[in-house]
Amino acid sequence: MRFEGMWKWSVYVLCAALAALVVVLGVQKRDLIADKQKLQTEEFYPKKSEWLPELTFTAMDGREVRIGDGAPGRKIVLHFSTKCPHCISSAKFIAEVSRSAKRVGVEMVGFTPETNRADVSKFMADNGMDFPVVSVPDRKTLG
């Protein structure tokens, strides 16, 4: 008799626990859907100077380069060095990405810590890169 009563209460407790679990999962799903909708709206896109500071530089070839100014269009910012083994091995691929991006209106801008214009120009020419490169020896300049 006593065992049957415990079994009966165990079933009730199990059902209550499952019902609570369903409620918690439902609330979590509702919150996730709301978060997804927020992320898909424009209010969560990066704003002017939100990700990058507003900066203007003169590239090594004399072109003016502006980042973070909120101007229409998109930019790919590439940090590289002519002495970095990974940069050297991926240079041809980066040049191809730059050309593909340019065809769809995306500008690539390079930043390097090197100040020797001849070395950087040779590296760019050898690898078919044609985007502006800014020498930034002090990383603090970028914010």
Taking residues 101-117, report their average pLDDT. Answer: 90
pLDDT in tens, 31-80: 999 888 887 776 666 665 566 678 888 898 888 988 877 666 788 889 99
Q: Own/partner pairs for 58-64, CB < 8 Å, 24+ apart? A: 58/134, 59/109, 59/132, 59/133, 59/134, 60/117, 60/120, 60/121, 60/132, 60/133, 60/134, 60/135, 61/121, 61/132, 61/133, 63/132
Is residue 98 over pLDDT 90? yes
The whole-model pTM stands at: 0.60
Angstrom distance (rounded) from CA 124 to CA 5? 82
Instruction: Give the amino acid at 56.
Output: T
pLDDT at 86 over 90: yes
pLDDT for 125: 93
74 contacts 46 by C-beta, under 8 angstroms: no
Give the model's confidence band at 17: pLDDT under 50 very low, under 70 low, under 90 confident, else very high. very high
131 and 71 Cβ atoms separated by less than 8 Å: no
* Between residues 72 and 10, the one the model is more confident about: 10
Please, which residues bridge with residue 75 across strands?
107
Give the model's pLDDT for residue 8.
73
- Give the residue, 122 or 50, on which the prediction is more confident: 122
pLDDT for position 73: 74
pLDDT at residue number 12:
86
Token couple for 11: 């079933």
Q: How far apart are CA 70 and CA 94, in angstroms?
A: 24
